[in-house]
Amino acid sequence: MTDPRASLLLLLAYLAALASVPVGHNVALTGLCVLPLGLMLYFRAPASLFAKAAYVLPFSFALAAVALLRGQTAAAVFFLFRSYVSILAVLLATHLVSTLELLRAMERLGAPRFLILVTEFLLRYLDVLRQEADAMRLAALCRGAAHSRLVAAASLGMLFVRSLERSTAIHAAMLARGFRGQFPRREALRWQWRDSLLLAGGLVILFAIRLSL
């Protein structure tokens, strides 16, 4: 099992290498594109990642459209391609390593623990609050509530107050389970020689592609 820190560092190094390719350097860009495609084949990642990467590109599409209208076809294709490959790399990383593991890696690499704790609570209650909002919407439909500003504002207010109540209940549950005001330190991640090898190999390949093409 690879240490998530190695995966995260490689992802960041790859994205930085892509960001450093200037507009028009298509050979370097193509060389870097080969890496995520090879990894997708190696890990047998689902082909749906290709579609998902395209689905989340509206910002880049807008920029590319502007460049196209100004007659800069090469720049448009470059921007679109570079952001598409970047998203593909992130999708591949999050497919191979879970979000919680990535957060743990960030913490071990120096991200503030307080931020990671808040993010973990957010992830834990994300679906709970979304289901709550969905239930409120269904209830409003059932009682035939009009689509008005008053109803929407009341829904937001109610959702906020319920969030406060939910956080009080979470704290009560934490106390019942032995919480004494300190969050326990988690078990340290184990960095092994093969992680060093993977990271060093990955960085050498990235530098080689970036500097030679």
Partner 1 sequence: MHIPDGILSAPVLASFGAASAAGIAISARRAESLTEARRIPLLGVLGAFVFAAQMVNFPVGPGASGHLLGGALLAVTLGPWAATITMTAILLVQALVFQDGGVLALAANVFNMALLGVWSAWWAYRGLERLGQVRLGVFVAAFLSVTLSAGLALAQVVVSGAELSPGLVFFCGGLFVVTGLIEGAITVAAWEAIAKLEGRSTEPKRLLWPILAASGVVMLVGVFFASQSPDVLEVFNEKTGAASRSRELFAGLLPDYEWRTLPWEWLGKTMAGLVGLLLLYGVSMLLVRLMPKQPQE
**72 interacts with partner 1 by CB under 8 A:** yes
**52 interacts with partner 1 by CB under 8 A:** yes
Q: Which residue's CB is nearer to partner 1, number 34 or number 126? A: 126
Q: Which residue's CB is nearer to partner 1, number 70 or number 194? A: 70
**207 interacts with partner 1 by CB under 8 A:** no
Q: Quick one: which of 10, 28, 40, 91 contacts partner 1 (CB under 8 A)?
A: 91
Q: Quick one: which of 34, 115, 197, 200 contacts partner 1 (CB under 8 A)?
A: 115
The Cα–Cα gap between 129 and 136 comes to: 10
SS3 per residue for the chain: CCCHHHHHHHHHHHHHHHHCCCCCCHHHHHHHHHHHHHHHHHCCCCCHHHHHHHHCCHHHHHHHHHHHHCCCHHHHHHHHHHHHHHHHHHHHHHHHCCHHHHHHHHHHCCCCHHHHHHHHHHHHHHHHHHHHHHHHHHHHHHCCCCCCHHHHHHHHHHHHHHHHHHHHHHHHHHHHCCCCCCCCCCCCCCCCHHHHHHHHHHHHHHHHHHHHC
Closest CB 193 distance from partner 1, rounded Å: 27
Closest CB 196 distance from partner 1, rounded Å: 23
**186 interacts with partner 1 by CB under 8 A:** no
Q: Quick one: which of 27, 109, 117, 204 contacts partner 1 (CB under 8 A)?
A: 117
**74 interacts with partner 1 by CB under 8 A:** no
The Cα–Cα gap between 29 and 67 comes to: 19
The Cα–Cα gap between 34 and 25 comes to: 15
Interface positions, 124-183, toward partner 1 (CB under 8 A): 124-126, 128-130, 132-134, 137, 141, 147-149, 152-161, 163-164, 166-167, 170-171, 174, 179, 181-183
Closest CB 151 distance from partner 1, rounded Å: 9
**209 interacts with partner 1 by CB under 8 A:** no
Q: Which residue's CB is nearer to partner 1, number 141 or number 211? A: 141
